[in-house]
């Protein structure tokens, strides 16, 4: 039960970007970029792609990934991850990694697993970083989090929190969509019904807080941008090309 699995939920039917997992970026499917970054994490015993779509499954098989076929009825990626974790009794820790964040940091994944292993009082671990531009905190598309003095989440919101009574001292934290769970916590989480605050903010992680779960937040120096639209994919490809040119020079 001390083993850790990184599970990447992937679905075809994104409203804004259908077929996103297999969209080619720098010659590789987006999902493969994520999978390769996860494989570089040293604390994961397995990296599994969880999907209900045979197009995604067959492509992932071809590049050597472990794939779990899941139910098409799941309402969220967390539900899909939990289905795999329920069968994987050998895993004590499960990291839910977004399939549209191709620059996810393997070192962050390792930190999440280590935090769960080192402190049994913590049930869920996630991450956040400061906004480079504080003005972005006003966007409802950017999720914010506030912490207590021990680094635990007090609240997540689409609204800019805390209220900027003294602007010079405010440090807005952008929540990153990565979660490490104790397996038993994950299986319990998906049994709970959506809660009032969760529905109000449309933020699944609030279900954990409303049910008294301790969510620890690792504060990082920066985050990994997600790919939500074809335009995001084009921008990422340009970024990867610039990084490759710098590495060669």
For the chain, the average pLDDT equals 92
- For domain 3-248, give its CATH number from 1.10.287.3510, 3.40.720.10, 3.90.550.10, 3.20.20.80: 3.90.550.10
Helix axes 106-118, 30-39, angle to 10 degrees: 50
> Where are the chain's structural domains?
3-248
The predicted model gives 80-95 an average pLDDT of 97
Residue 226 pLDDT exceeds 90: no
Task: Please report where in the chains the tokens 């080192």 appear, as a residue.
Answer: 118
Q: Which position has the higher pLDDT, 241 or 76?
A: 76
3-26 pLDDT, tens digit per residue, is: 999 999 999 987 778 899 999 998
Q: How far apart are CA 84 and CA 96, in angstroms?
A: 11
176-202 pLDDT, tens digit per residue, is: 999 999 999 999 999 999 999 999 999
- 170, two tokens: 């405010």
- pTM of the complete model: 0.93
Q: How far apart are CA 125 and CA 95, in angstroms?
A: 9
Query: What pLDDT is recorded for position 196?
Result: 97
Q: How far apart are CA 25 and CA 234, in angstroms?
A: 8
Residue 80 pLDDT exceeds 90: yes
134-167 pLDDT, tens digit per residue, is: 888 899 989 999 999 999 999 999 999 988 776 6
Q: Which DSSP string do the residues of 123-190 spell out, in sequence order?
A: -EEEEEEE-SSGGGGG-TTS-EEEE-TTSBEEEEESS--S--SSGGG---EEEEEEEEEEHHHHHHHT
Query: What pLDDT is recorded for position 244?
Result: 67
Residue 181, Cβ neighbours under 10 Å: how many?
29
Cβ-based neighbours of 121, under 8 Å, separated by 6 or more = 214
The predicted model gives 31-59 an average pLDDT of 97
Query: What pLDDT is recorded for position 38?
Result: 97
The predicted model gives 218-224 an average pLDDT of 91
DSSP 109: H
Q: Is 84 exposed, middle or buried (0-12, 13-18, 19+ CB in 10 A)?
A: buried
Q: Which position has the higher pLDDT, 53 or 225?
A: 53
The predicted model gives 38-63 an average pLDDT of 97
Query: What pLDDT is recorded for position 248?
Result: 61
218 neighbors 108 (Cβ within 8 angstroms): yes
Query: What pLDDT is recorded for position 11?
Result: 92
* pLDDT tier, 110 (very low <50, low <70, confident <90, very high otherwise): very high
Residue 247 pLDDT exceeds 70: no
């Amino acid at each position: 039960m001390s083993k850790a699995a990184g599970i990447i939920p992937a679905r075809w039917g994104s409203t804004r970007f259908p077929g996103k997992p297999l969209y080619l970026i720098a010659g590789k499917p987006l999902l493969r970029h994520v999978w390769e970054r996860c494989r570089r994490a040293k604390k994961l015993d397995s990296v599994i792609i969880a999907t209900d779509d045979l197009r995604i499954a067959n492509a992932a098989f071809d590049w050597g990934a472990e794939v779990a076929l899941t139910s098409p009825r799941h309402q969220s990626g967390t539900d899909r991850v939990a289905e795999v974790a329920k069968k994987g009794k050998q895993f004590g820790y499960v990291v839910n990694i977004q399939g549209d964040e191709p620059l996810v940091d393997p070192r962050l994944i390792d930190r999440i697993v280590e935090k769960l292993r080192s402190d049994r009082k913590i049930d869920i671990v996630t991450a956040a970083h400061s906004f480079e531009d504080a003005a972005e905190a006003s966007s409802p598309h950017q999720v914010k989090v506030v912490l207590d003095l021990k680094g635990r989440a007090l609240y997540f919101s689409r609204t800019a929190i805390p209220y900027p009574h003294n602007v010079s001292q405010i440090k807005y934290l952008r929540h990153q969509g990565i979660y490490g769970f104790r397996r038993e916590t994950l299986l319990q989480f998906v049994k709970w019904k959506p809660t009032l605050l969760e529905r109000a903010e449309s933020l699944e992680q609030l279900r954990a807080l409303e049910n008294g779960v301790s969510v620890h937040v690792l504060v990082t120096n920066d985050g990994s941008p997600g790919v939500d639209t074809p335009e995001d994919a084009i921008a990422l490809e340009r970024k990867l090309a610039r990084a490759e040119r710098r590495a060669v020079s």
